[in-house]
Amino acid sequence: MNETANMTSVPAGPDEDLTPEQLAAQWEAEAPPAGGPIANFAAAAVATVLGAAGMVLSLQLGLGTPSQPQPGLWPFVMSLVITVLGLAQLIIGRKGGEGEKFSKLSWLVLFGAATLIGLVALMPVIGFEIPSLLLCFVWMKFLGGESWRSAVLYSVLVVAAFYGIFILGLGTTIPHLF
């Protein structure tokens, strides 16, 4: 076989550009195993139920109007979107590809959700600054794999930006310490 032809069909190293076909083949080879139709159905059902629960809770907060929104308006809109997407996945999503099989990394989603619930629980008690700083740090360090220095720096910058935008700039009534 001609060495030149062989070199053009298979990249020699990681620095060499891949063709779209080679890249697709590489992604397919590295993809996690398919979850199957039951996993697809379960994930869509959970999303639909969570979205519906969010809509019910949002209605209890009051929706208001677009010109005079109440606290439940945007959570209701987002919950409605989640519900519609969950229903669409239940109905027409089965014709698409297989979802990913749950793995050890799937538990990170639950960890992220638990820390978000912690943020919501702590915010009325001690304000948004400390819980937000902790949430950003945990997500960046333990979920994102950032270095200690980057996680601390980015967490402080994110919380400072949110403080500047929502407290100083918009004057919102988010519970805060400072």
Distance CA 133, CA 152 (A): 9
Residue 4 lies in a domain: no
Question: What is the extent of the structural domain holding 149?
Answer: 106-169
* Residue 157: Cβ-neighbour burial (10 angstroms; 0-12, 13-18, 19+): exposed
Distance CA 175, CA 84 (A): 32
Residue 76 lies in a domain: yes
pTM exceeds cut of 0.85: no
Residue 7 lies in a domain: no
Residue 128 lies in a domain: yes
The last residue of one of the domains, among 75, 102, 129, is 102
**One domain, residues 20 and 80:** yes
Q: What are phi and psi of 64, to 5 degrees?
A: 75, -150
pLDDT the model gives residue 83: 97
pLDDT (tens, 9 = 90+) of the chain, 178 residues, equals: 444 444 444 444 554 687 888 888 888 788 777 777 777 888 899 999 999 999 999 999 889 888 888 888 999 999 999 999 999 998 887 665 667 777 777 788 889 999 999 998 888 889 889 999 999 999 999 989 999 999 999 999 999 999 999 889 988 887 877 7
* Number of neighbours of residue 74 by Cβ within 10 angstroms: 12
Q: Both tokens of residue 149?
A: 């220095």
**One domain, residues 17 and 92:** yes
Distance CA 83, CA 52 (A): 6
**One domain, residues 164 and 123:** yes
For the chain, give the number of residues.
178
**One domain, residues 87 and 124:** no
pLDDT the model gives residue 33: 77
**One domain, residues 95 and 115:** no
pLDDT the model gives residue 139: 94
In the chain, the amino acid numbered 33 is P
Report whether 80 contacts 51 (CB < 8 A): yes
pLDDT the model gives residue 164: 93
Distance CA 48, CA 88 (A): 9
Give the total number of structural domains in the chain. Answer: 2
**One domain, residues 17 and 97:** yes
**One domain, residues 84 and 57:** yes
**One domain, residues 49 and 74:** yes
Residue where the block lists tokens 């063709």: 19
